[in-house]
Amino acid sequence: PSRVVLGDWTTIQSQSAMHSIGGVHIGSYVGIGYRVLILSFEHRYRNAKTIPFDDGIFLQPVLVRDFAWVGWGSMLMPGVEIGEGAIVSMGSVVTKSVPPLAIVLGNPATVVGYRSREHFEQCKAEGRVNPHRILEVYGQFEEMIPLMTRRRHARELAEMGLIDQGS
């Protein structure tokens, strides 16, 4: 715990784990989803005194900058930095640092897009931030079903009670 720094309004969901011997620094307004794994060290295996590894470990801090979002079931490998405002999609394995505002996906995680810098900076300047505590702050989620999903699956959505049959 002495090697973990957490910023203000950061939320870490349950069943997540941090092996923080190498240090973990998480900024403010960061959302860490359920079952996220953060590793901050590696065993010495090259030219080790024993196999498969020995008693040496390499400390490699993990840095997660302000306003980042790490999705459910993701893994952050030793030494990576998640840039400010970046999004790590659920189930991603981050093996390299993620640029600010990037959206990454996959194993290994690759950049699939970027958030709008202009919109991000405007929200920040106006103090429009989400503390990742939706139910606590707003009381409920605002539920939306995309138009294409409504069109493609109208019957099934109606059967589930998500839309009226006539919608």
Which pLDDT tens digit goes with each residue over 17-53? 999 999 999 999 999 999 999 999 999 999 999 999 9
Residues 71/33, Cβ–Cβ less than 8 Å: yes
Asked if pLDDT for residue 102 goes beyond 70, the answer is: yes
**Residues of 139-161 as b/e, b for ≥16 C-beta within 10 angstroms?**
eeeeeeeeeeeeeeebeebeeee
Q: What would you report as the CA-atom Rg of the chain, rounded to the nearest whole angstrom?
A: 20
Asked if pLDDT for residue 167 goes beyond 60, the answer is: no
Which residue type sits at 83?
A: G
Sign of CA dihedral 31, 36, 39, 45: negative
Catalytic-role residue among 43, 119, 132, 153: 43
Query: Nearest-CA neighbor of 26 among 79, 81, 78?
Result: 81
Share of the chain above pLDDT 70, in %: 95
- DSSP structural state of residue 98: B
pLDDT of residue 144: 87
Rama region for 49: left / alpha / beta (φ>0; ψ in -120 to 50; rest): alpha
Based on the residue annotation, tell me whether 119 is a catalytic residue of this protein.
no
pLDDT of residue 141: 76
Which residue type sits at 47?
A: N
C-alpha distances (whole Å) from 134 to each of 4, 40, 60, 129, 139 are 25, 29, 33, 11, 7
By CB atoms closer than 10 A (0-12, 13-18, 19+), residue 11 is middle
Residues 133-140, mean pLDDT to the nearest whole number: 70
Query: What predicted TM-score, i.e. pTM, was given to this entire model?
Result: 0.87
